[in-house]
């Protein structure tokens, strides 16, 4: 099945710093999502981005489907950005509404 | 207010008991999913259902069972056969149909602890 690798596994930032999180996947995809898991465990949808670039406030994401990677950019980080960021993908050779495959996540800690 | 609800938020179980976790959605989504998350780990798929009265095993289905009698509901039963059931359980749903928007959304989760 499709493999998803995220890097770095852990990241510590000073408040106000910028960061880039990476997601590599092993096959072509028709669905890629970025999630933020907050300290209470809730998974928050950040981006649905199988290709192209999207921005939402201080966050933006880019997926280069032909090169099988996606990047999540966090600018001017805040302590509330702390948590785990997951990338999840669904391969386009899988028909129908089959489940996402998750990476192991990047644990981000933003220090005031 | 549309969304996915899970209950209970916290659940304690004695060894040897079966417990059922509830998941309900009012998003009119066709597909529903159950994931398990262990501390410091990613999400692993237990079961999923693409349509009412049909479901498929995920990567770690042993010791779990599900039913899908209604579109809105997808309960998960953790049986006594599950050797290490203490974990965080997350339910998700997405719109179905080939070529449709398959963005997946998650409920708030249930923390199960076996005493």
The shortest C-alpha distance from B51 to chain A (Å) reads 10
pLDDT score of B8 more than 60? yes
pLDDT score of B1 more than 90? no
pLDDT the model gives residue B99: 46
Taking residue A111's Cβ as centre, other Cβ atoms within 10 Å add up to 11
| pLDDT per residue as tens digits for the range B30-86 | 999 999 999 888 899 999 998 999 999 999 999 999 999 999 999 999 998 888 999
pLDDT score of A41 more than 60? yes
| pLDDT per residue as tens digits for the range A64-102 | 999 999 999 999 999 999 999 999 998 776 544 568 889
The mean per-residue pLDDT over the stretch A20-44 comes to 93
A104 touches chain B (CB under 8 A): yes
C-beta separation of B67 from B52 below 8 A: no
The partner residue sitting opposite A86, judged by closest CB among B42, B44, B98, is B42
The partner residue sitting opposite B105, judged by closest CB among A45, A86, A97, is A45
What is the residue-averaged pLDDT of chain A? 92
DSSP state of A26: S
The strand ranges marked E within B26-103 are: 31-37, 43-51, 54-57, 64-66, 76-78, 87-94
Interface of A with B in 12-51 (CB under 8 A): 30-31, 33, 35, 40-43, 45, 48
Residue A44's closest chain B neighbor by CA?
A: B106
pLDDT the model gives residue B72: 97
């Amino acid at each position: 099945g499709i493999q998803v690798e995220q890097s770095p596994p852990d990241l510590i930032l000073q408040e106000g710093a910028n960061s880039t999180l990476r997601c590599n996947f092993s096959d072509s995809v028709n669905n890629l999502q970025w999630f933020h898991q907050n300290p209470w465990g809730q998974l928050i949808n950040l981006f649905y981005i199988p290709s192209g670039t999207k921005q939402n406030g201080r966050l933006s994401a880019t997926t280069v489907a032909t090169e099988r990677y996606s990047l999540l950019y966090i600018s001017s980080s805040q302590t509330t950005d702390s948590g785990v960021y997951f990338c999840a993908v669904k391969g386009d050779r899988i028909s129908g509404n089959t489940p996402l495959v998750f990476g192991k996540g990047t644990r981000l800690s933003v220090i005031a | 207010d549309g969304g996915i609800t899970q209950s209970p938020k916290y659940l304690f179980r004695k060894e040897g008991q079966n417990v059922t976790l509830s998941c309900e959605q009012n998003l009119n989504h066709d597909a529903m999913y159950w994931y398990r998350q262990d501390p410091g780990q990613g999400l692993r798929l237990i079961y999923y259902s693409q349509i009412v009265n049909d479901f498929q095993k995920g990567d770690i289905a042993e010791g779990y069972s599900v039913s899908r009698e209604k579109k809105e509901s997808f309960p998960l039963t953790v049986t006594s056969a599950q050797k290490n059931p203490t974990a965080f359980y997350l339910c998700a749903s997405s719109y179905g149909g080939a070529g449709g928007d398959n963005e997946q959304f998650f409920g708030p989760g249930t923390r199960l602890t076996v005493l």
